[in-house]
Amino acid sequence: MIGAPLTRVDGVAKVTGAARYSYEEPVANTAYGVIVTSTIAAGRIASIDAKEAQSLAGVLLVLSHENAPRVKADAGDRKLQVLQDDAVFYDRQPVALIVADTFERATDAASRVRVTYDRKAPATTMSSPGAQTYTPSQANNNPPDTTRGDFDAAFASAPVKLDNSYVTPTEFHNPMEPHATLAMWSGDELTIYDTSQGVFPRRASVAKIFGIPDTSVRVVSKFIGGGFGSKGGTNPYCVLAAMAAKVIGRPVKVVLTRPQMFGGFGNRPRTEQRVRLGADRSGKLTAMAHDVRSQGSRYDDFIENAAVISRMLYAVPNQITTHRGVRYDVVTPTYMRAPGESSGSFALESAMDELAYATGTDPLELRLINYAETDLSEQKPFSSKSLRQCYAQAAQRFGWASRKAAPRSMRTPDGLLAGYGMASSTYPSNRSSASAAATMHADGTVLATSGGCDIGTGAYTAFTQVAAEAIGLPVARVRFDLGDTTMPPAPEAGGSQLTASVANAVHAAGVALREKLAGLATANRNSPLHGRQLADLAFGDGRVFVRAQPVTGERYADIVRHSGAPSVMARADVQHDRRAKGPYSSHAFGAHFAEVHVDPDLGTVRLARMVSAFAAGTIVNAKTARSQFLGGTVWGVSMALHEEGRIDERTGRYMNASLENYLVPVNADIPSIEIILVDEQDEFVNPLGIKGIGEIGNVGSAAAVANAVYHATGKRVRELPISPEKLLT
Ligand code: MOS
């Protein structure tokens, strides 16, 4: 069952509206909170006049820095602006929360709060006079700077040298479900229904903020309409909901408006990346420097670890990588799908494409010339690596061999410029400790649980399959539940780690359950299995049986019934330190091939087709996995051609704060993307051989499109998105 293309077990609930999202949880007496956000990007609140708002019918509370309860504004992984003082650090920072008996009344009252400011002229770009560069202590848990060999000497003596800078803009996540929390207190016990990528990490940070034990907080997150990193860390709306619920002694729910999702609550930071490549005339790399500058806030550190991918993707002996943050008057950025690798791969894989043209080498051949047989950054072998197979299978399917080498040398039948481009992809295989439980009921059905979250990836489905396989039951007899801190702990659905972490725990719990059931049978003198050894038994189709004599066996349901207990439960705790360094380096790999058509007169770029191949160890569900690769790949197309958060340099406010003006691709922008799943077994990465697939589709995809645009037009655009005016000027 592991690997089968099982249709989503929660699909019907989602399309019929039965799936309940956090904001929809029906709780009696719930009040509605609406956040008032700042209209300046830097300065102080001079006054808050809420008299009119407060006088309106149904208004229960106006919370501001003047009366908000004092909390610890450090959420563990980030510092939050939660009405603790009058400082304003970014546009759309929360400055008040209005709570009323209906959402409409709260919205109306919020519009009548008058805030005046002592405004400072904000620094609104990375090159503004007031922007400050800093050296971070880490870059998304990686060392910010690395060196190997002697870059300066190797670069100085390289026969071929390239030195170019690449820019990726600020981008927003745009999950369909906006951020939302329903919070309620019972004495000092807090329950929150929160749209969250990880209920356990959320519980830990909320407990820390309110200064209460973890065990006093319950977090529930059953269905999530997309996260992409934006629902990883704790955000102010969640804390404000809990604060208000405490003050008024009623459940309070808070949802962000769509415009508030742009600029006030985290984004992929803008990066400016300088890449220097030194190579011999055949294209073999001798030197590489990748220097990253990452958009940052005034009050907290977050670095887009864009150069990390350059440390291991190619066999380059002499290298420098650096990350610097640039502080200006914006919100602290956050993780967005494949944080680091996504923006870093645009720079690295564009630079590699430039090197291919500079040396007259085919871009795919250039990757093979520089293929890394080991991970030079960790000086370790890969636990498995099938990048060659990804290149070969995708290139074959795409028809890469028919590409004409020269830029601007291919045309479509109707006269458009045609271009082929490719890029490599990789993402580290992460894993954290996870626990799971499995309970066999007397009717022969199983409930398996682990407190992970399904952010839309298909976790419910994948873990149902793993449990069914481990226990030896058809999937129809297994129900998997998740998203609640009352369940065994699981890590955040982030860093592409959830499946690798939780599946191994679910599998172990399933095996423990079947062995417990076998033990009950062999100990029961009325069982046909009485006295048998576990080693002689096999499991399948809802029963335990003698391997050499399958007719001799007992059904799970009967074993439970004979046990005298209503059910039989087993639990597994699989420990894994995510930072622990084993003997191998583990990464998933992939390759993207793209064809674009460009109108030479208008500069409009259309994706014609893409073929992308990935090798990521064990694929738990071929159908949901394909969707993950596809979604990630589409996002790369979007990054290449569409997305850009545009800031008004006078005010520090994002100007295109809506799904009308912030461009994302629609179906007509994505004609055909073919995904190839390359077979790969990895016996070292973890017991089930799962590498993780949530983010890798997004890595390299933008570069493949950008490289195709260069091939079509002969014009290299190094600042995303590739909009028509950049091709025409
Ligand atoms: Mo992912 S951006 O690590 O949720």
Q: What is the 3-state secondary structure (H, E, C) of 373-438?
A: CEECCCCEEECCCCHHHHHHHHHHHHCHHHCCCCCCCEECCCCCEEEEEEEEEEEECCCCCEEEEE
| Residue 224 contacts residue 256 (beta carbons within 8 Å) | no
CA of 649 to the centre of ligand 1 (A): 29
272 is catalytic: no
Closest ligand 1 atom to Cα of 694:
1
339 lines ligand 1 (CB under 6 A): yes
Element (H, E) at 540: strand 537-540
Closest ligand 1 atom to Cα of 339:
2
233 lines ligand 1 (CB under 6 A): no
Nearest CA to ligand 1 atom 4: 229
197 lines ligand 1 (CB under 6 A): yes
| Residue 722 contacts residue 365 (beta carbons within 8 Å) | no
**Which domains occur in the chain, in start order?**
11-120+175-257 (3.90.1170.50), 337-349+361-430+583-728 (3.30.365.10), 434-574 (3.30.365.10)
494 lines ligand 1 (CB under 6 A): yes
Q: How many Cβ atoms are within 10 Å of 55's Cβ, its own excluded?
A: 10
As a whole-number percent, the residues of the chain with pLDDT over 90 amount to 98
92 lines ligand 1 (CB under 6 A): no
CA of 155 to the centre of ligand 1 (A): 35
In the chain, what are the helix, strand and coil shares in percent, each to the nearest 5?
30, 30, 45
Report the range of poorest mean pLDDT among 27-36, 260-269, 420-429.
260-269
Quick check: 94 pLDDT over 80? Answer: yes
User: Degrees (nearest 5) of the Cα angle 378, 384, 390?
Assistant: 110
pLDDT at 77: 85
Q: 471: helix, coil or strand? A: helix
Query: Which phi and psi angles does 151 have, rounded to 5°?
Result: -60, -50
pLDDT at 580: 77
Give me the helix-helix angle, 199-210 and 236-248, nearest 10°: 60
232 lines ligand 1 (CB under 6 A): yes
Give the CA distances from residue 138 to residues 134, 430, 572, 583, in Å, rounded to whole numbers and listed in that order: 12, 18, 33, 23
User: pLDDT (tens digit, 9 = 90+) per residue, 555-579?
Assistant: 999 999 999 999 999 999 999 987 7
- Residues with Cβ within 8 Å of 208's Cβ and at least 6 positions away in sequence, in order, are 72, 74, 75, 76
CA of 692 to the centre of ligand 1 (A): 12
User: pLDDT (tens digit, 9 = 90+) per residue, 606-655?
Assistant: 999 999 999 999 999 999 999 999 999 999 999 999 999 999 999 999 99
Closest ligand 1 atom to Cα of 197:
4
CA of 229 to the centre of ligand 1 (A): 4
Mean pLDDT score of the chain: 97
| Residue 691 contacts residue 682 (beta carbons within 8 Å) | yes
495 lines ligand 1 (CB under 6 A): yes
CA of 338 to the centre of ligand 1 (A): 6
pLDDT at 175: 96
Q: How many Cβ atoms are within 10 Å of 523's Cβ, its own excluded?
A: 12
The CA distance from 482 to 455, in Å, is 11
Give the CA distances from residue 1 to residues 43, 435, 469, 471, in Å, rounded to whole numbers and listed in that order: 58, 21, 6, 11
Q: Which residue has the tokens 């489905």?
A: 461
pLDDT at 593: 99
CA torsion angle 46 52 55 57 (round to 10): -120
The CA distance from 234 to 254, in Å, is 14
Q: Which of 469, 554, 595, 695 is catalytic?
A: 695
Average pLDDT, stretch 107-135? 97
The CA distance from 591 to 425, in Å, is 5
User: Degrees (nearest 5) of the Cα angle 314, 320, 322?
Assistant: 110
CA of 230 to the centre of ligand 1 (A): 8
Q: Which of 589, 467, 480 is nearest to 539 (CA)?
A: 467
Q: Which of 727, 713, 721, 725 is nearest to 635 (CA)?
A: 721
Quick check: 352 pLDDT over 80? Answer: yes
Residues facing 174 on adjacent strands: none
Backbone conformation region of residue 515, classed left if phi is above 0, alpha if psi is from -120 to 50, else beta: alpha
Q: What pairing do the DSSP bridges indicate for beta strands 653-654 and 31-37?
A: unpaired
Give me the helix-helix angle, 556-563 and 498-523, nearest 10°: 60
Quick check: 103 pLDDT over 80? Answer: yes
The CA distance from 402 to 176, in Å, is 40
pLDDT at 729: 79
Average pLDDT, stretch 265-278? 97
Six-digit token string for 609: 């087709």
* 3-class secondary structure per residue, 179-242: CEEEEEEECCEEEEEECCCCHHHHHHHHHHHHCCCHHHEEEECCCCCCCCCCCCCCCHHHHHHH
337 lines ligand 1 (CB under 6 A): yes
pLDDT at 263: 84
CA of 419 to the centre of ligand 1 (A): 32
Average pLDDT, stretch 671-693? 96
268 lines ligand 1 (CB under 6 A): no
Q: Identify the band that residue 547 occupies on the pLDDT scale cut at 50, 70 and 90.
A: very high
229 lines ligand 1 (CB under 6 A): yes
Backbone conformation region of residue 388, classed left if phi is above 0, alpha if psi is from -120 to 50, else beta: alpha
pLDDT at 579: 76
pLDDT at 109: 98
Closest ligand 1 atom to Cα of 232:
4
Closest ligand 1 atom to Cα of 337:
2
361 lines ligand 1 (CB under 6 A): no
Ligand 1 pocket: which of 695, 696, 699 to mutate (most atoms within 8 A of CB):
695
Six-digit token string for 529: 């299995």
User: pLDDT (tens digit, 9 = 90+) per residue, 206-258?
Assistant: 999 999 999 999 999 999 999 999 999 999 999 999 999 999 999 999 999 99
Q: Is the peptide bond before 339 cis (omega within 30 degrees of 0)?
A: no
User: pLDDT (tens digit, 9 = 90+) per residue, 577-586?
Assistant: 877 778 999 9
Q: Beta-strand (E) ranges in 11-102? A: 31-37, 43-49, 59-64, 87-88, 94-100
Ligand 1 pocket: which of 171, 231, 335 to mutate (most atoms within 8 A of CB):
335
Query: Which phi and psi angles does 20 have, rounded to 5°?
Result: -105, 125
Closest ligand 1 atom to Cα of 695:
1
Q: How many Cβ atoms are within 10 Å of 516's Cβ, its own excluded?
A: 17
Quick check: 391 pLDDT over 90? Answer: yes
Q: How many Cβ atoms are within 10 Å of 18's Cβ, its own excluded?
A: 10
Q: Which residue has the tokens 């519009």?
A: 111
Q: 446: helix, coil or strand? A: strand
The CA distance from 351 to 398, in Å, is 22
Can you say whether the dihedral through the CA atoms of 708, 170, 338, 22 is positive or negative? negative
491 lines ligand 1 (CB under 6 A): no
CA of 16 to the centre of ligand 1 (A): 28
pLDDT at 261: 94
451 lines ligand 1 (CB under 6 A): no
Burial class of residue 379 (count of CB atoms within 10 Å of its CB; 0-12, 13-18, 19+): exposed
The CA distance from 305 to 291, in Å, is 10
pLDDT at 577: 84
Q: How many CA atoms lie within 13 A of 77 on its CB side?
A: 20
| Residue 59 contacts residue 109 (beta carbons within 8 Å) | yes
Return the amino acid letter for 6.
L
User: pLDDT (tens digit, 9 = 90+) per residue, 283-339?
Assistant: 999 999 999 999 999 999 999 999 999 999 999 999 999 999 999 999 999 999 999
CA of 500 to the centre of ligand 1 (A): 14
pLDDT at 589: 98
Q: Where are the alpha helices (DSSP H) in 438-497?
A: 459-471
Closest ligand 1 atom to Cα of 455:
4
Ligand 1 pocket: which of 337, 427, 499, 698 to mutate (most atoms within 8 A of CB):
337
Count how many residues are written for the chain. 729
pLDDT at 264: 85
CA of 93 to the centre of ligand 1 (A): 23
Six-digit token string for 202: 């959320």
CA of 471 to the centre of ligand 1 (A): 31
Closest ligand 1 atom to Cα of 493:
4
335 lines ligand 1 (CB under 6 A): yes
The CA distance from 492 to 166, in Å, is 31
